[in-house]
Structure 1
Amino acid sequence: MDRNPTIYLAGDSTVRNYDKSQYPQAGWGQFLGNYLTKTVTIKNYAVGGLSSKTFITEGHLSRIDSEIAENDYLFIQFGHNDSTRNRADRFTEPYGDYQIYLKQYIDLAKSKKAIPILLTPVARLNYVQDRFSPDFSEYCNAMKELANENEVLLIDLMSIGVQYLSSIGYTMAQELYMLSVNGTDCTHFTERGANIMARLVSEQLIELPNGLDQLIK
């Protein structure tokens, strides 16, 4: 690489940075640097409550557009908020405007000679009848379809997360989510959970081309 790369993160509340006043809640994006070399810069533009649509309409993708450059990476994780049918402002149809909006992220990265990487929505603590189950299946499948059609790298974070939760069991898994703090939240992570999800992302980067393995400690 001619210059040290920057990883830009576009996502929602499961990815975003949190300050100390919100402890112990955290997003995996704020821990990704723990697993990367010091040559990598991470710019986390993820914002809570946003979908693939509202991240664009509220101007956040434009901010990335003004900075991202050749050999940088754009990580794109949306789906949680896209699925909220009762919120017309952020809802998207999985095989309709969800794919159309995601394509804008892909096209932006490619236009700057940066590398887009799609990530399926991260796993929630969905535990029913003694097993962990994936959520947002239509959105995950629509993202995979888009990645295949556009020859874009993809990390299936939903499947990887569910596999990991299954391997440690519910008692340990619940400690990774804010449910263990407030008794209600099966979506957002504690710092421990966010750190583990960041590790799972980094482990997948080793398997991808485009020099990503060189960025891992």
Structure 2
Amino acid sequence: MNKFKGLLLGIIFTFSSLYTFAQLPTSFKFDFGAGKVAKGYTQVLPESVYTKEKGFGFLPNAPIVSETRKGKDALTSDFCTSTQSFYFTVDIPEGNYNVKLYLGDTKGTSTTTVKVENRRLMLEKVITPEGKVEAKEFTVNVRTPRINDTESVKLKPREFEYLHWDNQLTFEFADVNPKICGLEITKANDSVITVFLAGNSTVVDQIQEPYAAWGQMIPRFFKAKDIVFANYAESGETIKSFAGAKRLDKVMSLMKAGDYFFIEFAHNDQKAGSGVEANTTYKEFLRSYIQKTKEKGGIPVLVTSMLRRNFDDNGKIINTLGDFPDAMRQVAKDENVALIDLNAMSKVLFETMGPEKSMKAFVHYEANTFPEQTKAIHDNTHFSNYGAYEIAKCIIEGIKQAKLGIATSLISDLPSFDPAHPDEETSFSLPHSPLVHVVKPDGN
């Protein structure tokens, strides 16, 4: 573990304090920079490093500077920036929050990509014109393991390092020229629809590069104040172990009428020793998840698992998931619930890319590509940022095809996506996060 990673995780996660945040404020206004402070805002200076006493601040991974411009507007006439990705974190109770960021420079330009928590993509390459400051909004979910006074999610040891179980909202500001003028956080009202995600390492918010999954990419495509994603997927989980770790109980404790529950399992379920069989126990668990969701007034959505990168000699993908995709299709039909056939779409996507180009969608990197990586990585299950982004686009097309209500909350002017015509990897650019770890996630 590198020095920054250990320091960052040590600062922002103290598990023993998870249950002492009930009285934290739920709204904040921060004015970034050393100039005049806007009325009603709290000033954030480059040296404003997070402390438990303040309850907010930068994490000490990058050199941060402030620049001040002449102007009457105290909020937009100064900003904080860095030549590296930098983090800002706020102590905040569990819940859904609307975020407004003021980005730009009244005397220059800026380019900013924003991720939250475990690299959850919220804003992608926001470019502000010369002399402009723009307000951008999104809605984000903050969570803790606690279910009630006596029960909590059974976290795996590595989850104690995650940035999304900790009564904090952590922002990562990145790209070639990020300039942060202001930040407002307010509690979202109950009209916001929560989309809960259940799944494994192909869905989870992967904390560290070079791994990524579709669940951490999809929030970027939805409007603020309409939809929020709560990703409860975890690496290595089966549909059985997800329930056994009380992750299902946690989701059900929060679900309200009109919320959605996307369910994707198969990669670990189909392995020997999982305790799950496609046409018996797997179907039984799926029906149980569906029933529990409907009892809460929620909307269950089944998602067939994407295929692994496993080609035959003719360039066709080999199914390594056995009967699990068909079993899910059958349950969706029998229970009359929505199905997103990601399995079918991924076959088209990967075969279109072909054996060579498809490596770019997965974690295939030569030695010394990332810090701490001294050996080549060849992983045909887990995605690169590019691959996760393309899979998220497949999910969006599935949402449209299933005519789910949340399709109306997709961002404006979002073009259709055809898996038979994927985006070129050379046209994709997402800044890598500072957290890098080359150990493969659980599951395969």
Give the TM-score of the pair, scaled to structure 2: 0.46
- Aligned match of 2:243: 56
CA deviation after TM superposition for structure 1 residue 18, in Å: 1.4
Which of 339, 343, 354 is equivalent to 1:169?
A: 354
CA deviation after TM superposition for structure 1 residue 30, in Å: 0.2
Question: Aligned partner of 1:43: which letter?
Answer: A
| Local SS of the residue matching 2:292 | helix
More displaced stretch, 177-186 vs 196-205: 177-186
- Aligned match of 1:8: 196
1:30 and 2:222 aligned: no
Question: Aligned partner of 1:36: which letter?
Answer: F
Which of 398, 414, 419 is equivalent to 1:204?
A: 398
Which of 45, 67, 70 is equivalent to 2:257?
A: 70
1:112 and 2:300 aligned: no
Question: Aligned partner of 1:81: which letter?
Answer: N
- Aligned match of 1:186: 380
- Aligned match of 2:329: 144
Q: Which residues of 2 match residues 82-161 of structure 1 at below 5 A? A: 82-85=269-272, 88=273, 90-129=274-313, 130-161=315-346
Q: How many residues align?
A: 211
Question: Aligned partner of 1:195: which letter?
Answer: Y
> Partners of 2:380 and 2:275 in 1: how far apart?
20
CA deviation after TM superposition for structure 1 residue 210, in Å: 3.9
Unmatched tracts of structure 1, length 5 or more: none
| Local SS of the residue matching 2:239 | coil
Unmatched tracts of structure 2, length 5 or more: 1-189, 367-375, 412-444
CA deviation after TM superposition for structure 1 residue 128, in Å: 1.4
> Partners of 1:93 and 1:179 in 2: how far apart?
31
> Partners of 1:67 and 1:79 in 2: how far apart?
25
Deviation string, structure 1 residues 85-141 (Cα, Å, up to 9, x no partner): 1xx2x3311011011111121111101111000001112111111222333140001
* Residues 36 and 202, structure 1, Cα contact 8 Å, conserved in 2: no
Give the TM-score of the pair, scaled to structure 1: 0.92
* Residues 83 and 91, structure 1, Cα contact 8 Å, conserved in 2: no
Question: Aligned partner of 1:174: which letter?
Answer: M
Q: Larger helix proportion, structure 1 or 2? A: 1
Question: Aligned partner of 1:215: which letter?
Answer: S
* Residues 307 and 321, structure 2, Cα contact 8 Å, conserved in 1: no
More displaced stretch, 60-69 vs 121-130: 121-130
| Local SS of the residue matching 1:169 | helix
- Aligned match of 2:4: none
Question: Aligned partner of 2:214: which letter?
Answer: W
Question: Aligned partner of 1:8: which letter?
Answer: F
Ranked by relative contact order (alpha carbons within 8 Å, sequence separation 6 or more), the top structure is 1
CA deviation after TM superposition for structure 1 residue 164, in Å: 1.1
* Residues 52 and 82, structure 1, Cα contact 8 Å, conserved in 2: yes
CA deviation after TM superposition for structure 1 residue 27, in Å: 1.1
More displaced stretch, 104-113 vs 129-138: 129-138
Of the two, which has the highest radius of gyration? Answer: 2
> Partners of 1:159 and 1:142 in 2: how far apart?
14
Question: Aligned partner of 1:24: which letter?
Answer: P
* Residues 147 and 154, structure 1, Cα contact 8 Å, conserved in 2: yes
RMSD: 1.4
* Residues 206 and 216, structure 1, Cα contact 8 Å, conserved in 2: no
Deviation string, structure 1 residues 132-174 (Cα, Å, up to 9, x no partner): 2333140001111111110010011111011011222222211
| Local SS of the residue matching 1:188 | strand
